[in-house]
Structure 1
Amino acid sequence: MKKKDIVTGIVKRVEFPNKGVLETEEGKVIVKGALPDQKVSVQIQKVRNGRAEGRLLEVLEEAPDSNESPCIHFGKCGGCSYLTMPYVKELGLKEQQVRSLLKPAVERNSIRFTWEGIKTSPVKYAYRNKMEFTFGDEIMGGPLSLGMHKKGSFYDIVTVSGCRIVDDDYRAILSATVDYFSPMYDKKEITFYHRMKQEGYLRHLLVRKAVRTGDILIDLITTTQEEHNLTGYKDALLNLQLDGRIAGILHTKNDSLADAVIDEGTEILYGQDFFYEQLLGLKFRITPFSFFQTNSLSAEVLYQTVRDYIRSLYDQSNIKNDGVVFDLYSGTGTIAQLLAPVATKVIGVEIVEEAVEAAKENAKLNHLDNCEFIAGDVLKVLDDIEDKPDLIILDPPRDGINPKALKKIIDYGVNYMIYVSCKPTSLARDLEIFQENGYMMSRAVAVDQFPWTSHVETVVLLTRQNT
């Protein structure tokens, strides 16, 4: 195979994350965006060391068991990948991907290991409690769009008014926003932010909704390059017939060059800038920029899994139920607070200061006085903590754990750790170092937090040998 060749074949499997393995007469080709059992045509882009990579040109035949997509934007929006797959097949795919990545660690294992399959999300559609929509146009000079990036594009935006991973309230708010600003855009009275030109006003629309109470926060993110009276927009939103209740309408200013929602000053147009959400009996104060799992009901499955792993250790008297627990990469302290009732002290470490402040507020809200949260890099903070842990919980970002921090964590010599991973490739890399230092997997399970996407969470119980 040579660069620019066009080949066809059947996708035999999909490796994490969303890399189809195509078998052709000329050899194997890796292609992003293809689904298992599809017949596709691919243009070769790279051939190196006998490995070919290509760009998906066309799906020639769908998989025999494929479904019709329930979302009108599928294939155009760059969001969901697996909407035409039966959900049970998607679960099997994700479980196989995680098991394949963990296989080297299993083979290195010297203690009994139990694989516990994959846990499903309690809801398959309308599961997201937060969405960040982007303003733009779908074609250059076209009408105003608000939604998600077009598949394969950094600039084109698809208005996802029929998105299925959010509920009707999100769709109504999105449509009302487009309807309000489109006439102004057509008359050249208002602009959207162009990433290339670094010019324009409308940037993002952030919407959050509490699963338990139905409270909604709406935040319009703009630059300061133009000034507009947003009273009419606020009134248009308040006139919507929604299932939930609008708790607050906000306006955030963001002149950062980064293509991200960054708070550089927020004013309240209506109501308040927070609401409360509940997980496993605990209450959490959520602001527009709080870190919080975006699938609340599946987050309960994830956190209950962590709690069950710990409870099994207590039941077997493997650890004492009045010890010190480290919750490293603790975010807003959800896991720390779930463990607080069975620990003398829980210490959470998180580099994002806003998340740490939220964790402290939430601990007070839940009347927990044995939680300490420290803002800083785990690599540096561990040097200053005098307490020694009896148990360590790890919930790092997608890139995994800094190798230098990993060494400090291992040096504590605790008998057990629980690793919560949002990227199994990073987990597999870190497991190699853990196993080199005597920590072996004794239990592991995958959790589907994000149906119809390529993402999957994994929970692993690590046991130190000779304990």
Structure 2
Amino acid sequence: MKKGQIYEGLVEKVVFPNKGIIRVDDGRTVVVKNVVPGQKISFSVTKVRKGRGEGRLLEILEKSPMELEHVPCEHFGICGGCTFLNLAYEKQLELKEQQVRELLEPVCAPYEQEYGLAPFEERFEGIRRSPGQFEYRNKMEFSFGDSYKDGPLSLGMHKRGSFHDIVTVSGCKIADKDFSDILLAALSWFQNCENPMGETGSEKGIPYYHKMRHTGYLRHLLVRKAAKTGEILVDLVTTTQMEQAAEQKVLEGFCTALLNLELKGKIVGILNTHNDSLADAVINQGTRILSGVDYFYEELLGLRFRISPFSFFQTNSLGAEVLYDTARTYIADAGTGKVVYDLYSGTGTIAQILAPVAKKVIGVEIVEEAVGAARENARLNGLNNCEFLAGDVLKVLDEIEEKPDFIVLDPPREGIHPKALERIIHYGVEQMVYISCKPTSLARDLEVLQAKGYMAERICCVDMFPATANIETCVLLGRK
């Protein structure tokens, strides 16, 4: 097996998140992404290391028996957003549950005899579904670019496997029609308005930011919409390369185009964020209000949350209720009348759900804007026993005088820093809840936690991201 060789093979299984396993003629395996079990595919070998290969999908030669006859989205396979939209939702759930089980059982099962634990199958509670399979996203981050080199302006998602090409996802099925209408209105305005920059050779159309030349104006369009209140916040991310007077005229027209739309929800704020960094990411280097306000409100489990453009908030509001209800069930009476640490607390959602039964909840979050939002949300909900601290968990823990009786962990995708994990274990609390958005990171951290005596007592998956390869996992840990 050599780099550049082309093979055909059957996808035996798919491991988290979307890595298909194919066995070639000599018995060695190749990993190919963006496939489903049972497909016969052709692929090109891109890397060979220690007898194991990686490949790039070339063509699906035969569909899997698992696949739908008709995929419900016209952009599937072109857009890089969805992975499993070609499977019925029950099949998606089965696949994700199997992936998490195969990751966590080898980590959790070896301790059963030593600690008298129930078998893994009894502790693993399967997967809870999202209340909605379609139109569930409350946030979309669209990119400006072109659909092919030197083509017309596009706005949407990156094409699968491409760093540059953009597909205009006007028919996206995981976000509702308001997102598509806003996308198309913004694209039409910037394609047709007068160009004051004069760098595209055309009198019409505003140029997008070219990643290689580092010139241009348009970068991203961030749209957030609350599932319960219907409030919409739109943030146009641009460079500072346009002259101020000309920019004001362009942005006024942009606001008018959006505010004239007939939407199911209501636009409460239109913002402009400047970003001159070289990174292809939404980075806030200054945000101003063009219309309305710079926040919107969402409701979860009877609580009200004020959300700013860059605050972390689960992208599936109704799914978040399922996730946090699961966590609340796991915590049950363990946090009653006690000091609870909510580490990696974001906008303080979990902290405020626990606050009514806790003596005090202390949230720690590195994003200062999210901490400010958490404090405001606690005030809105009449919760005076919540304290939110800004900073890195590893450093902030040294500054907190009150010791925890219970700890909730909801870290970012990469999991918990090893030194922070040591500090957390050192508190010696009887129980913890770990909420993870990446089961491979969870499996790694569980190895450390279990070696120190914290056993997984209950495990449940929650599908927050239908059609994609991502999954949330909630684990109740008890000290043995």
8 Å contact from structure 1 (residues 136, 144) kept in 2 = yes
Unpaired runs of 5+ residues, structure 2, are 196-201
Q: Take 1:376 and 1:270, find their aligned partners in 2: how far apart are those partners?
A: 31
Q: Structure 1 residue aligned with 2:98, among 78, 96, 117? A: 96
Find the counterpart in structure 1 of residue 430 from structure 2.
415
CA distance in 1, matches of 2:240, 2:426: 49
Could you say which residue in structure 2 is the equivalent of 1:60?
61
Confirm or deny: 8 A CA contact 2:191 2:205 kept in the other structure. Answer: no
1:13 paired to 2:13:
yes
* Alignment-derived partner of residue 381 in structure 2: 366
Question: Which of these residues, 65, 84, 102, is aligned with residue 82 of structure 1?
Answer: 84
1:427 and 2:442 are equivalent in the alignment: yes
Equivalent pairs, count: 459
Q: TM-score, normalised by structure 1?
A: 0.96
Contact between 1:130 and 1:207, CA under 8 Å: does it hold in 2?
Answer: yes
Alignment-derived partner of residue 407 in structure 2 = 392
1:47-104 Cα shifts (integer Å, max 9, x gaps):
2222121111111011123112111111111110111111111111100110011012
Matched, 1:346 2:370: no
**Does residue 1:2 correspond to 2:10, yes or no?**
no
Is the contact between residue 238 and residue 246 of structure 1 (CA under 8 Å) also seen in structure 2? Answer: yes
Measure, in 1, the Cα distance between the counterparts of 2:48 and 2:255.
54
1:128 matched to which residue of 2? Answer: 137
Q: Secondary structure at the match of 2:356?
A: helix
The structure 2 residue matched to 1:380, chosen from 388, 392, 395, is 395
Q: Post-superposition shift, 1:239?
A: 1.3
Q: Aligned partner of 1:377: which letter? A: D
Residue 196 of structure 1: aligned partner? 212
Report what 1:297 is aligned to.
Answer: 318
In terms of mean alpha carbon deviation, does 385-394 or 257-266 score higher? 257-266
The aligned amino acid for 2:77 is G
Q: Trace 1:82-231 onto structure 2 (pairs within 5 A).
A: 82-110=84-112, 111-112=117-118, 113=120, 114-184=123-193, 187=203, 190-227=206-243, 228=247, 229=249, 230-231=251-252
Percent identical residues = 63
- Separation (CA, whole Å) in 2 of partners of 1:320 and 1:107: 27
Q: Deviations over 1:291-329 (max 9, x none)?
A: 111100000000000001111xx2xxxx46211101111
Deviation for aligned residue 1:347: 0.6
Tell whether the 8 Å contact from 1:109 to 1:441 is kept in structure 2 after alignment. no
In the alignment, the residues of structure 1 paired with residue 40 and residue 292 of structure 2 have an alpha-carbon distance, to the nearest angstrom, of 53
Letter in 1 for 2:41: V
- Counterpart Cα distance in 2 of 1:47 and 1:204: 36
* Partner SS for 2:435: strand
Unmatched 5+ stretches in structure 1: none
* Aligned-partner Cα distance in 1 for 2:206–2:191: 9
The answer to whether the 8 A contact 2:191-2:204 is kept is: no
CA distance in 2, matches of 1:419, 1:104: 18
Residue identity opposite 1:293 in structure 2? Q
1:383 is paired with a residue of what secondary structure?
helix
Structure 2 length-normalised TM: 0.94
What is residue 70 of structure 1 aligned with on the other side?
Answer: 72
Which shows bigger deviation, 7-16 or 108-117?
108-117
Distance in 2 (CA, whole Å) between partners of 1:423 and 1:59 is 28
Runs of 4+ displaced beyond 4 Å: none
Picking from 270, 286, 292, the partner of 1:265 is 286
Match of 1:41 in 2: 42
